[in-house]
């Protein structure tokens, strides 16, 4: 697996320090309850609007640019179905921006709150838990397990072509601690437990510049080997208990996507 380390700040002129790997990277947690697949965000096309099989193939090959310029589909999978599902080059996570925060502006001011996180937005698809720490601090843990086959990919593509799997996230430089964010991602086999590849990072920000800027974290899995069927995405954001409630580190625009190498 070739790693592409892209932990950096793109808003507000502040750079993140070299990220550190958390000690003793955890094993993949028990998978969340299996959810039904979700079609892409665009509205479904009526039969009259759907392209022909040949035209759908032409459009997708031009859009995706696979190696060699072509793709072999397994029996039962059609180009028209792929055109509707668009499994490549789209975000496979549900509710990637649950609080509706815009990364092109500093994180909006907020004070301590006693409301549960689920009351602050649409967190459909996320499993949320809390890990208590010392000194009035805690982690909010959010995770999803993406079923790549249910999202429209197929075994031969994942095993033979091994397209890039890119994970990306943005966290707030909340200054609540020296490390306010962790990312843990596992590429899992069909049993949803066997780990084929993994990535763990706990970036530290420099503490300079304006607070509440957004820091980007990204990683590309390449040449990870055959057998990948699930992507388990988990991130942690740190909280601090203050008079009046919990002050949180916010996270937004999380993504998992599959694409061919440029």
pLDDT digits (tens, 9 = 90+) for 82-134: 999 999 999 999 999 999 998 998 888 888 999 999 999 999 999 999 999 99
How far apart, in whole angstroms, are the C-alpha atoms of residue 190 and residue 34?
13
Angle made by CA atoms 65, 189, 217, in degrees to the nearest 5: 60
Segment 211-219 shows an average pLDDT of 91
Within-domain flag for 61? no
- Mean pLDDT taken over the chain: 86
| Per-residue model confidence (pLDDT) at position 3 | 43
| Per-residue model confidence (pLDDT) at position 7 | 44
User: Per residue, what are the HEC states of the chain?
Assistant: CECCCCCEECCCCCCECCCECCCCCCCCCCCCCCCCCCCCCCCCCCCCCCCCHHHHHHHHHHHHCCHHHCCCCCCCCCHHHHHHHCCCCCCCCCCCCCCCCCCCCCCCCCCCECCCHHHHCCCCCCEEEEEECCCCEEEEEEEEEEECCCCCCCHHHHHHHCCEEEEEEEEECCCCCCCCEEEEEEEECCCCCCEEEEEEEECCECCCCCCCCEEEEEEEEECCCCCCCEEEEEEEEEEEEECCEEEECCEEEEEEEEECCC
Please tell me the total count of domains within the chain: 1
Residue 32 has pLDDT above 80, yes or no: no
Within-domain flag for 45? no
How far apart, in whole angstroms, are the C-alpha atoms of residue 58 and residue 1?
31
CATH number at residue 97: 2.60.120.260
Within-domain flag for 48? no
Segment 70-88 shows an average pLDDT of 95
Residue 81 has pLDDT above 60, yes or no: yes
Segment 190-195 shows an average pLDDT of 96
| Per-residue model confidence (pLDDT) at position 262 | 64
| Per-residue model confidence (pLDDT) at position 48 | 52
| Per-residue model confidence (pLDDT) at position 5 | 41
Beginning with the edge strand found earlier in the chain, give each strand of the sheet holding 251-259 in spatial order: 8-9, 214-221, 164-172, 251-259
Query: Residue 242 forms beta bridges with which residues?
Result: 245
Within-domain flag for 73? no
Residue 211 has pLDDT above 80, yes or no: no
Segment 187-209 shows an average pLDDT of 92
| Per-residue model confidence (pLDDT) at position 50 | 79
Within-domain flag for 51? no
Q: What is the dihedral of CA 237, 212, 126, 152, to 10 degrees?
A: -120
**Residue of 123 and 44 predicted with greater confidence:** 123
Quickly state the pLDDT bin for 217 (edges 50, 70, 90). very high
CA nearest to 232, candidates 248, 216, 221, 222: 221
Segment 249-253 shows an average pLDDT of 96
Residue 10 has pLDDT above 70, yes or no: no
Percent of the chain residues topping a pLDDT of 70: 81
Within-domain flag for 1? no
How far apart, in whole angstroms, are the C-alpha atoms of residue 202 and residue 167?
15
> Domain range for residue 251?
8-22+90-259
Within-domain flag for 17? yes
What is the pTM (predicted TM-score) of this model? 0.85
Residue 2 has pLDDT above 60, yes or no: no
Within-domain flag for 189? yes
Tokens of 188: 């899992």
CA nearest to 180, candidates 237, 248, 254, 107: 237
């Amino acid at each position: 697996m070739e790693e592409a380390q892209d932990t950096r700040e793109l808003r507000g002129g502040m750079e993140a320090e070299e990220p550190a790997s958390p000690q003793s990277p955890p094993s993949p947690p028990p998978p969340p309850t299996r959810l039904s697949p979700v079609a892409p965000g665009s509205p479904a096309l009526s039969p009259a609007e759907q392209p022909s099989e040949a035209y759908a193939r032409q459009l997708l090959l031009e859009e995706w640019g696979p190696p060699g310029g072509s793709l072999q589909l397994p029996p039962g999978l059609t180009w028209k179905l792929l055109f509707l599902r668009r499994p490549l080059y789209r975000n496979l996570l549900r509710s990637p921006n649950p609080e509706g925060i815009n990364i092109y502006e500093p994180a909006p001011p907020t004070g301590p709150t006693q409301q549960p996180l689920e009351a602050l937005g649409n967190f459909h698809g996320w499993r949320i838990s809390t890990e208590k720490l010392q000194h009035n601090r805690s982690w909010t843990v959010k995770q999803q397990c993406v079923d790549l086959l249910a999202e429209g990919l197929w075994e031969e593509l994942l095993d033979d072509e091994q397209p890039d799997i890119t994970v990306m996230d943005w966290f707030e430089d909340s200054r609540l601690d020296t490390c306010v964010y962790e990312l843990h991602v596992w590429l899992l086999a069909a049993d949803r437990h066997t780990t084929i590849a993994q990535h763990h990072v706990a970036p530290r920000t420099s503490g300079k510049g304006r607070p509440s800027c957004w820091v980007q974290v990204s990683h590309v899995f390449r040449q990870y080997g055959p057998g990948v069927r699930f992507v388990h995405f988990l991130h942690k954001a740190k909280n601090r208990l203050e008079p009046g409630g919990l002050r949180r580190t916010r996270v937004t625009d999380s993504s998992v996507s599959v694409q061919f190498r440029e």
